[in-house]
Structure formats: C-alpha cells, structure tokens
Amino acid sequence: MSHSHRPLTITKLKNMKQEGVPISMLTAYDYPSAKLAEEAGIDLLLVGDSLGNVVLGYETTIPVTLDDMIYHTKAVARGAAGTFIVADMPFMTSRVGVETALRSAARLMQEGGAHAVKMEGGREIADEVAACVRAGIPVMGHIGLTPQSVHQIGGYKVQGKLEQEAERLLEDALALESAGAFAIVLELVTEPIAEKITNRLSIPTIGIGAGRHCDGQVLVFHDLLQYASPYREKRFVKTYADIGTTIRDAIGRYVGDVKQRAFPEQRHAFEAATAAQSKDEAMSLYGAQDGRKTP
C-alpha cells in the first residue's frame, strides 16, 4: 500500500473519528523503521520513549532523556517525511511547570522535526497541555497505564477495573480534551471504560491494550515484528512477523560461514575486483590463481 506524501492533519484525524475510519499508529525509532512504516501506509508514527526499553536496553522509560528523544525523532523524520509524527515528552519534562514543558516540546518540534508531542498524565498536566496548545504545539494525551509513573502505579497493571479508577480516567480524558489535546492514548484500560471515554470525547482515542472500541490502535514496532522485544508476551499484542528469528538465523549462518572459511567465496572476490578493474586485470589476479579461464 502506498502512503500519501502529505501527512495527516489534526483536522483530518478528527474527521476520521467522526466518519468511523479507524486510525493506525505505530512506534518508530530510526530511519529504516520509519521508512518502511510509511511505505506500508501507516497513519501516524509515534517516536515513543519506549525506545528506552526496545532500543537502549533500559528496564523502564525513566532514563530516557530529551536529547535521546530529539536524536531519534530526527531520524524518524528523515525516514517518513510524508507521515504525521508524534514525539514523546520524556520523564518529568511535562510535570515540572509550564516553562519546562514549553521549552521541551519546542525542541522536539524545532530540532527533532515532530509534528506534535505526547504527554503522559491527566488533570495534573492540563495547564502544561493548554500552554503548549496556545503556543501552537499540538499535544496528544496519554492516560491509563503511564509507564513514566510505573513505580508509583506499582507495576504494569490494567487500569479502570475499580469504579473509582474508571471515573478518574474519564475525568482525566475530559480535562485533556478541554485543555486542547487533539487525541488521547488509552493504555491498558479496561474495554468498557475505553469505550465509554471514546464515546464521550470529540477527539480520537488511540488504544494499546484497551480493547476494540477506541478510534485507533497503536503497537510497538518491536512487538509487532517480534524484533528482540524485551517485553514479556502481552495478551493484546498481535505478532505479524517473526523477524527476530529470521535475523538471528541469518547472522548465525554468516558466523558459521566465516568460521568454516566459506565466506567470502572466490567468486565474490572476482566480482569485487571486476567492479574496480578491467576483466583482464581481475583474471590476472584471481583467475590465474585457481586455473579458471576468462569467461
């Protein structure tokens, strides 16, 4: 499937919700993954701070810095110039005051090339969201399981099971909408509360482990492809390919060939030589050594 060379706009995303058109979103952390996702027709790309887990090898997203996010967002922007790109605001950049949030979000857009930023939290960050929106910075919200608060939450637990939790999630979603967020990610939220929130909001919801009734869905690139993802198997993840095994097996065959001196083969050396020299010169170097005649 080919992708339009013009990124989606916030207006188009809201229209997709109104028209009942599902929104596809995927994480990307580098040039090749972004390029492939765009060529496949993805609607939105998220440069998630989950890069801390799947690219940098951290146990949580907390160590990820703003400079890390800018670096990876720049790579994604180069690979997917025709796709709407959202960049995560890393740990504490949206929770220590409006000025810090504005400066951090501005860097992600100006230096990183993002079209929008994503902030984790609900009512407690409404002022920061509103300030960014007033400054012309589009903001996507993120409630439910918020990985940056994993230690406070007490682990990766489904949110909204209790009536009090469900009510809080709805209030958070409404507060983010009121502050000007153009969409909200619902992570590990029970399907009934995700459906309730989706129906109450005029802006799209993007689910991850939140059931079938969100306006769109997002998955982590490495989970979708089984590409050395450090996460334990999640019930809501659907694997569409196992490239991790393919890559590991290919590298293993290369290692075996090197150990057995099967790589490089003689013909590879001949072809490399003919690319840089005349055929006669190449044959004098390689053909004469093994008794081959000039083709």
86 backbone dihedrals φ, ψ, rounded to 5°: -110, 135
Tokens representing 256?
């075996």
Active site residue 187: yes
Q: How many CB atoms lie within 10 A of CB 133?
A: 15
Query: Percent helix, strand and coil across the chain, each rounded to 5?
Result: 50, 15, 40
Query: From residue 83, how far is each of 26, 79, 218, 250, 260 by CA, in Å?
Result: 11, 9, 15, 31, 45
Closest Cα to residue 142, out of 121, 160, 128? 121
User: For residues 21 and 224, what is the distance between their CA atoms, to the nearest angstrom?
Assistant: 22
Residue appearing with tokens 């990307």: 28
User: For residues 210 and 195, what is the distance between their CA atoms, to the nearest angstrom?
Assistant: 9
Closest Cα to residue 152, out of 214, 62, 50, 285? 62
Asked if 149 and 120 touch (Cβ cutoff 8 Å), the reply is yes
**Of residues 177, 187, 191, 281, which has the active-site annotation?**
187
- Give the residue numbers marked as catalytic: 187
